[in-house]
Every structure is written in structure tokens, then in C-alpha cells.
Structure 1
Amino acid sequence: MESLYTGEILHEMKDCDLDHFLPWSFVAHNQLWNLIPVEKNINRSKNDRLPELRLLPKMAVIQKQAIHTYVDFGGKVKALEDFCDLGIDTQTLLSLNDQEFLNLYNNTFVPMWQIAVNMGFETCHQKELNLKKEVR
């Protein structure tokens, strides 16, 4: 899977954190549709800030690929029920084409992102992230 922020391939989940695209301090949940694997140092740098909205299409692509990979490798569709909070059932979710999936994400994330900005959440610009590889 490709990193949302760096574009690098994430080979090992043990080297990653699950980032809340919209910060947990705003959404107060760990639902799958808002989680994305990223490098640990990136997640720490982003903290409780909002990502740039220009990353949303890439987020949607990564999420859609992850969902289909999970199901293709025998994952239970029931695990995708978090997505029902987006107003869509799991079977319809799995049938969406790329544009429809992006529309679903735009319709969900853009208004929530704006509400978070209005509440005082800061935006984290990609150039501000700690893009250096973590030394082990």
C-alpha cells in the first residue's frame, strides 16, 4: 500500500500507525473510513491537525483498494459495516466505481473538514510533516 503523505510503499504494518484523516479529537471514533496507514513519524508530525483536502482523492483510492483487497482475500464483509455511517450499505459500497467512491468521500469529508476548520483545527501542510525516514 502507498503512503498517503509520501507516496512510498508501506511494506510492513508494524512500521506504520493508523492515522485518523480527520483527527480523532474531532471525530471521536476509530471507524475504518477515516483511518489510513502512514509512517509513524508522519503520524506524530501531523498530530491533531487536518490534512490538506487535495489529498482526499488519494485517500479514496487507497481506501477503495484496501476494501477490495480485504474482501478478495476472504475478509468478512461484516467488518466493513463502519461504512454504513456514510449512508451506504456494504454491498453498494463494494459495487461503487472509482468516481462514485470519490464522490462518497467528498460528500462525507469536505463538509466535516470545513466544520473542523471552523472549530479552530489547523491544517497540516505536507511540507510541514516530518518526511524523514525514522531511524531504528
Structure 2
Amino acid sequence: MLNRIILIGRLVADPDMRYTQSGTAVTHFTLAVDRPFTNQQGERETDFIDVVAWRKLAETVANNLSKGRLVAVDGRLQVRTYDASDGTRRKAAEVVADTVRFLDSPRRQEGAREGAAGDDAEAAPLTEDDVPF
């Protein structure tokens, strides 16, 4: 038997990390994944898939990813049941991540430019001594 999911998509919001009562890190996030075909109007539809990561992976995801980042998730599908506040029994499907690969770079802060100090270096104001003519 095999239960394997591979997804590539963008985070729809910043990851939400919490700790269980026993101190285990758990992070939830949602991926927007485009379907590989278009609908009758010629538009691509998108699925919003819930993902959960545990322990060290949960901390890595929460500390390094944010809304809009492109990632690949390799994991397994988990379906669980729970009792809703109105007393009905419901099911929830989510992907339990085994690995999360970052497929893009973090976006640079507004007002920053590339420089000797790296992508997050502050732009220094120019003076007359900086102008070569």
C-alpha cells in the first residue's frame, strides 16, 4: 500500500506554529495549488490544501516561510474525524509533510537594494563624493 502526496504551490498565509502540551512543535499552513487544466471559461482553478508539519520541520517552516512563498511538499494524506461545535461529526483531510523544499528566495524588504552586504542591505544616500563626474 502507498500513501504519498507531492504538491507544489504557494502559501496563502503565514504559517501558524504552536506547541502541544508535551512541547512538540506543530505548524499548519495552506498551499494554493493550480489544477493542470482549465475550466469551460479557459481559467485555471485552484485547490487550497491544508498541510501540517511536526517537530524540527515545523520550526523550520514557521521561521523561514511566509505568505506567497513557493514550496514543494512531500508527505502523506491524513483524514481525521472530529466533533464540531454544533454537535455534528465532520472529516478533515490534510497533508502531513515529511519534507518541505523552498523553491524561491525570500522577497527583499521594500527600500533595500543589492549590495556588498547582501540582499537585505539598506540603501545608503548618495553624497557629492559618490558621483563620478
Give the TM-score category using the shorter length.
under 0.3
More strand by share: 2
TM-score, structure 2 normalization? 0.22
Larger Rg: 2
More helix by share: 1
